[in-house]
């Protein structure tokens, strides 16, 4: 057995091996140690290897999914080794032969299909990354629903794309400098990828799906090869790939997504924008809404189509509620199809397809009667039709509520197969004969406690209490002793054997017939997989539209107006998540306006901590996301020019694992904004420069404001405590000053949370410290120090002295002097140099050309 185990383990060296032994999956050696620690189960031992006991642990087969879920969450990959023949087949091969086993599946985070292992409201993306001709590309698949996307990645946007998808597993070719599971470079071949896609979809050319680049095809090749490896030759259903082009959706980098908490927070989904607005009633709708928020559109026509559909359901409250009631009863046909295509489906999945497709048909009939329907609804409805032959077949074949376990049978409806009905009748008659036989045996023996029972080892047998067994032990009693247990004795009888044989044979034949029907019906369903997938997408889109309408009506949101020019005019804007939290505590959220235009595109916002600056910045960024995702927005009115990139540098965090302090993270993110933002971008910056000394921080903040204004020319909200920056309003034409209002009343700070024109008069830092519970002695000392500092500033001109004499930033952009010698010297770290490296550094210094001017 261990020879067989080690041979299988050699096929899956990077996985834990679940080795099937009867009713358990067993793990040995290091796999056992790792699994026992992760699952918190007992680690035992069995036998010896090289003179040492073999570590061992196991999990029951019937509960394996729960343990698999914990291992996958723990970052493990698991190979499943099943018995591929019965003990009888092994015995027929002759000798003392071990039952053959083989790895039938590799379970990874990106290849899950089981409901018990997946979140019904979240997509489960597996992403392959390839590089060809200096260009990165991705191919992504969610095999639980069959969705597939491909696309080249813009310079510097790979991390943003991975964050958009929320990839649960990433695979990369050897040599590609991206973190992920490394796979052989040969599998990331563009020619093989093209051939695999053609074979998968049964087409002679991919032109109908888009003009794919070499890098995209290479990524697809790597993805399909990995799925083939994980499924051991069985590829799941994948719909035609959707080609994502650069500029198709609003680009949001990973730091901005985390800052704005679009779809998740450190605590999970709870508290995110998605959680706040999600009114969907189906898992598919929730997944699609998450996708919409993750990838807001850049096509005004497509956005307006979504908004028109939301507007329709907003105006029709009774029809909206009826639609949501209908959708609420729908099964998740996309995930049912995914399980069937992966070979892990059940009779219940076939029933889900039957019920879902049937209700989709009824829904289309009703929605088709709407007067003047939105254009998007007209385009969606045809996908709800069809499937008539499949619905009819499944309705006739599958019982109303079948079991998940196909091995138990009983899921094929009576009347579908006359031969199967005969087998069931034979089995039923046999069971009635057994009941009559039991009554006759009781009468003949006088043992009223006699029972005819069945188990998997003995089959049908007679069981009597031990105290009554002696008469049946007599040689001519007509009964044959089979087994003695504590309290009972078991027997057989010739008449029972004959009847039991009929029942067993009829049952086995019935199960085989049902299994054949299940395979046939699954193949029939998979033949319409693409059309079923399209129906599932339409049902999800209807759910999202109705849910967005429900949210808009419930929260009094407005329809945004999208325009081509770069404006951002929000009246009465609110932060949806904060407003919901305030409402729960019985408070009222203070709405604020924000009007950015070509002549007033950069707002410098000052005011006290806790005054609402960060909330104001974030709420406007969220409004942009919601609008371009096709949702109504939390405002009285909203007119927005499309945003191509969204950036947020808000809050303080570090990344010590990568050697980055809080200030370093801030500078890295700010640098990325300055390098990538365009005149169509929307940028929010909060307290840039606060992580270092006052003079350094002010200097950096000053330069960043100038760069955003003069070079990037983005729409920008810049919050700061550096009041010296307000002087820039005199030099920068498109910068205006604003503040969050606060007042001190009887020594107490009153935060009004209102955004007003003009700069703040001061930061109220000590008043905020009092609110935080700072000790009185510390507050008193802080006041005296502040008075000294302010007196010194008044006498010397303070930090702002000399700033008015600085030349404008624009005049310096192309005139920044360089000193090659200083740059070369700065790059040398003497403490780390070997003698040879030091000598080479000297030679480099001698070769530096110096401009004497």
Distance from the Cα of residue 812 to its chain's centroid? 45
Annotated binding site for ATP: 607-614
Interacting residues of 292 by C-beta distance below 8 A, sequence separation 6+? 306, 544, 629, 630, 631
Q: Do domains 278-387+528-555 and 418-521 have the same CATH topology?
A: yes
Confidence at residue 386, expressed as pLDDT on a 0 to 100 scale: 87
pLDDT tens-digit series, residues 392-406: 999 999 999 998 888
Q: Which two tokens stand for residue 320?
A: 């909206």
805 pLDDT band, cuts 50/70/90, is low
The pLDDT tens digits of the residues spanning 462-499 come to 999 999 898 899 888 889 999 998 889 999 998 888 88
pTM, whole model, 2 decimals?
Answer: 0.86
pLDDT surpasses 50 at 208: yes
Instruction: Say yes or no to pLDDT of 816 above 60.
Output: no
Strand order across the 459-465 sheet: 451-455, 459-465, 488-492, 480-485
For residue 355, the Cα-to-chain-centroid distance in whole angstroms is 27
Contacts of residue 129, Cβ cutoff 8 Å, sequence gap at least 6: 136, 137, 138, 158, 170, 171, 172, 173, 176, 178, 180, 219
DSSP state of 265: B
Dihedral of the alpha carbons of 809, 814, 815, 821, in degrees to the nearest 10: 120
Q: Where are the alpha helices (DSSP H) in 453-575?
A: 470-473, 494-526, 529-555
Phi first, then psi: what are they for 750, rounded to 5°? -115, 115
pLDDT of residue 423: 87
Question: Where is mean pLDDT largest: 87-101, 317-331, 721-735, 793-807?
Answer: 317-331
Q: How far is CA 300 from CA 311, 587, 635, in A?
A: 16, 36, 20
Domain boundaries, the chain: 2-107, 115-246, 278-387+528-555, 418-521, 561-762, 817-853
Instruction: Give percent above pLDDT 70 in the chain.
Output: 94
Report whether 419 contacts 512 (CB < 8 A). Answer: no
CATH code: domain 561-762 is 3.40.50.300
Rounded CA-CA distance 439/437 in Å is 5
- 60-94, pLDDT tens digit by residue? 998 898 999 999 999 999 999 998 887 777 777 77
Q: Alpha-carbon distance 335 to 237, whole Å? A: 11
More confident call, 1 vs 767: 1
At 371, is the secondary structure helix, strand, or coil? coil
Q: Give the CATH superfamily of 2-107.
A: DNA repair protein MutS, domain I (3.40.1170.10)
Confidence bin at 853 (pLDDT 50/70/90): very low
DSSP lists the bridge partners of residue 594 as 570
**Of 570, 682, 685, 573, which is closest to residue 298 (Cα–Cα)?**
682
How far is 687 from 649, CA to CA, in rounded Å?
9
CATH number attached to the domain at 115-246:
3.30.420.110
E runs forming strands in 42-185: 44-49, 52-60, 78-83, 101-107, 126-132, 135-142, 147-152, 169-173, 181-183
H or E element, residue 78 = strand 78-83
Query: Is residue 715 within 8 Å of residue 601, measured between CB atoms?
Result: yes
> pLDDT at position 793, please?
65
- Report pLDDT for 191: 94
Helix axes 494-526, 388-397, angle to 10 degrees: 170
pLDDT of residue 657: 45
Can you give the pLDDT at residue 575?
A: 96
Summarize pLDDT for 351-368 with one digit per residue, the tens.
999 999 999 999 999 999
CATH numeric code, 418-521: 1.10.1420.10
Q: pLDDT band at 656, cuts 50/70/90? A: very low
What is the model's pLDDT at position 812?
A: 59
Average pLDDT over residues 563-580: 95
Task: Please report, in angstroms and rounded to a whole number, the separation of the first and last CA atoms in the chain.
Answer: 82
Domain 278-387+528-555 in CATH 3.30.9.10? The answer is no
Residue 373 is encoded by which pair of tokens? Answer: 């329907």
**Structural tokens at position 242:** 């959707």
Query: Which residues sit in the known binding site?
Result: 607-614
Q: Which two three-digit tokens encode residue 607?
A: 């005011």
Pairwise CA distance, residues 461 & 497, whole Å: 8
Identify the pLDDT of residue 607: 85
Burial class of residue 443 (count of CB atoms within 10 Å of its CB; 0-12, 13-18, 19+): exposed
Q: What is the pLDDT of residue 50?
A: 82
For 825-839, give the secondary structure using H, E and C.
HHCCCHHHCCHHHHH
H/E stretch holding 5 reads helix 2-11
In the predicted model, what is the mean pLDDT of the chain? Answer: 89
pLDDT band at 654 (very low <50, low <70, confident <90, very high): very low
Percent of the chain with pLDDT over 90: 59
* Beta-strand runs (E) in 61-191: 78-83, 101-107, 126-132, 135-142, 147-152, 169-173, 181-183
pLDDT digits (tens, 9 = 90+) for 147-170: 999 999 876 788 889 999 999 999
Q: What is the pLDDT of residue 189?
A: 92
């Amino acid at each position: 057995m261990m020879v067989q185990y080690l041979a299988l383990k050699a096929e899956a060296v990077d996985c834990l091996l679940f080795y099937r032994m009867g009713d358990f999956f067993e793990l040995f050696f290091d796999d056992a140690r790792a699994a026992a620690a992760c699952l918190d189960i007992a680690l035992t031992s069995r036998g010896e290897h090289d003179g040492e006991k073999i570590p061992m642990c196991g999990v029951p087969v019937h509960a394996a999914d729960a343990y698999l879920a914990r291992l996958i969450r723990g970052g493990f990959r698991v190979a499943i080794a099943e018995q591929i023949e019965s003990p009888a087949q092994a015995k027929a091969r002759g000798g003392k032969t071990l039952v053959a086993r083989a790895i039938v599946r590799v379970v990874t985070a990106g290849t899950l299909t089981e409901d018990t292992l997946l979140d019904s409201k979240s997509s489960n993306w597996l992403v392959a990354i390839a590089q060809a001709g200096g260009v990165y590309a991705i191919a992504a698949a969610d095999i639980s629903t069959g969705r597939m996307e491909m696309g080249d990645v813009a310079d510097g946007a790979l991390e943003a794309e991975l964050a958009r998808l929320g990839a649960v597993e990433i695979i990369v070719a050897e040599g590609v400098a991206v973190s992920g599971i490394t796979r052989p470079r040969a599998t990331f071949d563009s020619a093989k990828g093209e051939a695999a896609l053609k074979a998968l979809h049964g087409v002679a050319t991919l032109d109908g799906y888009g003009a794919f680049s070499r890098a995209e095809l290479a990524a697809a090749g790597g993805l399909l090869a990995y799925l083939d490896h994980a499924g051991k030759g069985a590829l799941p259903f994948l719909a035609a790939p959707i080609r994502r082009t650069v500029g198709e959706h609003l680009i949001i980098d990973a730091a901005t997504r985390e800052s704005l908490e679009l779809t998740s927070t450190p605590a999970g989904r709870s508290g995110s924008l998605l959680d706040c607005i999600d009114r969907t009633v189906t898992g598919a709708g929730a997944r699609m809404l998450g996708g919409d928020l993750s990838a807001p559109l850049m096509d005004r026509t497509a956005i307006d189509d979504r908004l028109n559909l939301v507007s329709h359901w907003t105006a029709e409250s009774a029809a909206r509620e009826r639609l949501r009631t209908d959708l609420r009863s729908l099964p998740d046909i996309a995930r049912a199809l995914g399980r069937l295509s992966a070979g892990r489906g059940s009779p219940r999945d076939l029933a889900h397809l039957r019920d879902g497709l049937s209700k989709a048909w009824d829904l289309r009939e009703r929605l088709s009667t709407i007067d003047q329907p939105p254009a998007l609804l007209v385009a969606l409805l045809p996908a709800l039709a069809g499937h008539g032959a499949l619905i009819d077949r499944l309705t006739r074949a599958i019982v109303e509520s079948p079991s998940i376990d196909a091995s138990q049978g009983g899921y094929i409806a009576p009347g579908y197969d006359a031969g199967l009905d005969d087998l069931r009748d034979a089995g039923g008659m046999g069971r009635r004969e057994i009941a009559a036989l039991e009554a006759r045996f009781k009468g003949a023996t006088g043992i009223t406690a006699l029972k005819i029972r069945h188990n998997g080892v003995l089959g049908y047998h007679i069981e009597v209490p031990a105290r009554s067994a002696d008469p049946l032990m007599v040689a001519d009693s007509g009964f044959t002793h089979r087994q003695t247990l504590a309290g009972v004795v078991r027997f057989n009888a010739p008449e029972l054997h004959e009847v039991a044989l009929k029942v067993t044979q009829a049952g086995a034949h019935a199960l085989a017939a049902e299994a054949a029907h299940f395979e046939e019906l699954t193949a029939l369903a998979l033949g319409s997989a693409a059309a079923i997938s399209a129906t599932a997408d339409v049902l999800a889109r209807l759910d999202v539209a109705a849910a967005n309408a429900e949210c808009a009506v419930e929260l009094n949101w407005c329809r945004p107006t999208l325009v081509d020019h770069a404006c951002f005019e929000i009246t009465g804007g609110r932060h949806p998540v904060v407003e919901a939290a305030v409402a729960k505590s019985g408070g009222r959220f203070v709405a604020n306006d924000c009007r950015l235009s070509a002549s007033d595109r950069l707002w410098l916002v000052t005011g006290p901590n806790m005054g609402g600056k960060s909330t104001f910045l974030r709420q406007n960024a969220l409004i942009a996301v919601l609008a371009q995702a096709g949702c109504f927005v939390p405002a009285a009115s909203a007119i927005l020019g499309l945003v191509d990139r969204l950036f947020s540098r808000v809050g303080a965090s570090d990344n010590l694992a990568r050697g980055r302090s809080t200030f370093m993270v801030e500078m890295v993110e700010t640098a990325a904004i300055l390098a990538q933002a365009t005149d169509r971008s929307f940028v929010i910056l909060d307290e840039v420069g606060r992580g270092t000394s006052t003079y350094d921080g002010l200097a950096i903040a000053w330069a960043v404001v100038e760069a955003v204004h003069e070079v990037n020319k983005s729409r920008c909200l810049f919050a700061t405590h550096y009041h010296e920056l307000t002087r820039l309003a005199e030099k920068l034409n498109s910068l205006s000053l604003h503040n969050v209002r606060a007042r001190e009343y009887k020594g107490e700070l009153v935060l009004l949370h209102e955004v007003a024109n003009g700069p703040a008069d001061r930061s109220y830092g000590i008043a905020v410290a009092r609110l935080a519970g700072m000790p009185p002695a510390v507050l008193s000392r802080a006041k005296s120090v502040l008075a000294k500092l302010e007196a010194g500033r008044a006498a010397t001109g303070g930090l702002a002295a000399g700033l008015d004499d600085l030349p404008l930033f624009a005049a310096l952009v192309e005139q920044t002097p360089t000193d090659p010698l200083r740059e070369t010297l700065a790059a040398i770290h003497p403490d780390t140099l070997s003698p040879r490296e030091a000598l080479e550094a000297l030679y480099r210094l001698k070769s530096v050309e110096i401009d004497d001017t």
